[in-house]
Chain A
Amino acid sequence: MRKNTLGLVSLICFSLAAAGCAKKEMVKTEETVPPVVAPKTTTPAIPAAPPAKTEPIVAQPISEAAVTAESTQPATALDTVVATLERIFFDFDSFVLSQDARDVLSRNAEYLLKKQPTARVLLEGHCDERGSDEYNLALGEKRAKAARDYLVTLGVAGNRLSVISYGEEKPLEQGNSEEAWAKNRRAEFLIVK
């Protein structure tokens, strides 16, 4: 009897305390914003003087092009999608880029370099429903990062590219056929503004 009464009293106190102190406990961690990488300025090479002649070298005025500071904020899932590029696909439980995927990435890189040189891109990594959804969250990120790294090697500035993994949460196609799974193991490229 006594034990139970005590238990009850502490339980009620507990819930009261819980309701009371909730707000105090709220802690917001500020989101870490990655440093903005400014485009590199290349110093024009000074032409070497021809060997035979000993004429004084006229100093050429170096025209300094104003570098526009691009404030490239990383794209996020909250941004507005204005266009999507061709997607790439992966094998089961793999983030290896196939030759097909590399070809697509080359076309995407060319587009991003020539047609949309300032566009920011959100790379989404996705998985099929067969794996564990917890593991797939990590696998999807590996897929998006593999695509990002390849685009960077093709010359697309890394600060234009952001990655996010949805694991198996956003399938392209519902269903549990091999065909549907193959379509869902993918990376998407969203141009955002």
Chain B
Amino acid sequence: MTRRLLITIILMLIPALLHSQEGYREVTASGAHKLTLTVDAPRRLGGSEASKVAHETAEALQFDMVLAGPFTVTAPPATAAATGIRPGEFDFAPWRGAGVDLLVKSGYTVAGNAMTMEFRLYNVTQGKEILAKRYSGRPGDVRRIAHTFSDDIMEALTGQRGPFTGKIAFVSTRSGAKAIFLMDYDGHNVQQLTKNRSINLNPDFSPNGKEIIFTSYRQGNPDLFRRELFSGAEARISSYRGINATGAWSPDGKSIALTLSKDGNSEIYTISRDGKNARRLTNTSAIEVSPAWSPDGRKIVFVSDRLGKPQIFIMNADGSGIRRLTTSGSYNVSPRWSPKGDRIVYCRQEGGFQVYAINPDGSNDTRLTNEGSNEHPRWSPDGRFITFSSTRGGPEGIYVMRADGSGQTRVSQGKAKDSHPTWSPRW
């Protein structure tokens, strides 16, 4: 981001931070019953009234918790009074009466350009505080702060942080040409990154989230560029004659797998992060594109039409041991390995495209989408969610869903064509 991170965690008041799994089970009252979670209206704790801050906080928390999955998110009961947010300042009874299991309370203090926010997560059933945090920043940081607490909630309840502070980089026609944009994962705070008026494609984040690589025609040929997100500095790192595209950063950040056609037709290569040491991994007269790494960096999944139609294959990262992964469907493309390593998401053409997920051994091939044409699936860094583009609502837009295909929600707004989403590592 262009401005420096200002969020400071001042306080962490947790009597005994619940251990993930235990805490989770503890509050799961009855059988398969989903936990009911409610986000109470944010309160002013001091300073001036800031309805925008209150509104954005509630909206961001609500959106994150709905997508999260393990919760049924309900509105606050009318019986709950507008009281304080700290333990002892309110009564659990109306919340308990409304069947609420988990309660998120928040408050803000805005003084000029300074803001402090305090969040509390309560186990209503036991009348206990689970988590309390205070953040300071500026009023403009409100969504980021709210998403940070959502990540904290996920960590406290499941042992693994959420991805809600993450960004999605994507390609959009909203500026006329096809440019790379960046937005919060929930579609807010859209920023245009490339302004070269040429065609720009396939953004991919470096594992530390500081940089992206993408393909651009800005110098006439589809070349691969690396861009530093904080400074905006760009370097052309691969400009062989022909295609330099579908770049994917290795998990250790040291190399990039990509498609080059410099030797006659498109093949998978690896290059260093500076574009050096091109190493050819495939060698056929067929089309080979879209490489993606396994999380341990040992394998690469990719697309090849060596058998006539595009199918998904897996090879070792040195090009050896090639085997076919997908055996159903006549046109399978765009694979991406989950951060946990257990699933590979891809697209199958069936009229339009649908997103599927399959185990790396070829089992459990499952369709995740149904409506419209759905492409470019990419995992959230925690592997819980998938972002993809879909035409279901008219012009192609960016969506998010849970890894099992539930909770499909549009996040990009407007009538432009948005595609190629990719979810950043934790910011």
CB within 8 Å of B: which residues of A?
1, 4-5, 8, 11-12, 14-16, 18-19, 22-23, 25-29, 31-32, 34, 74, 76-78, 93, 130-135, 137-139, 141-142, 145, 163-166, 169-170
Contact = CB atoms under 8 A, between A and B. Distances in A.
Contact of A1 (B12, B217, B241, B349): B12
A96 to B, nearest CB: 12
Given A8-B8, A11-B5, A137 B245 contact: yes
A18 B230 contact: yes
Contacts of B259: 134, 137-138
Contacts of B242: 141, 163, 165
20 contacts: A4-B9, A12-B4, A18-B230, A22-B231, A22-B233, A23-B231, A23-B233, A25-B228, A27-B237, A29-B237, A29-B275, A32-B241, A93-B331, A130-B349, A132-B303, A132-B310, A132-B375, A133-B419, A134-B202, A142-B265
Interface of B: 4-5, 7-9, 11-12, 178, 199, 201-202, 208, 210, 217, 219-222, 228-231, 233-243, 245-246, 259, 261-262, 265-266, 274-276, 287-290, 303, 305, 309-310, 331, 333-334, 347, 349, 353, 375, 419
Main secondary structure of the interface of B (DSSP, over half): loop
Contacts of B199: 166, 169-170
Given A134-B303, A164-B221, A28 B202 contact: no
Contacts of B12: 1, 4
Given A8-B9, A132-B334, A169-B178, A77 B233 contact: no
B156 to A, nearest CB: 13
A18 B3 CA distance: 12
B135 to A, nearest CB: 11
Contact of A139 (B220, B246, B287, B349): B287
Contacts of A4: 9, 12
A19 B246 contact: no
B308 to A, nearest CB: 9
Contacts of B243: 137-138, 141, 165
Contacts of A137: 201, 222, 243, 245-246, 259, 266, 289
CB-CB nearest 8 A-B residue pairs: A132-B333, A138-B266, A22-B231, A76-B220, A22-B228, A77-B220, A78-B220, A138-B287
A74 B375 CA distance: 35
Contacts of A166: 199, 217
Contacts of B275: 27, 29
A141 B334 contact: no
Nearest to B273: A25
A57 B411 CA distance: 88
B321 to A, nearest CB: 23
A134 B220 contact: no
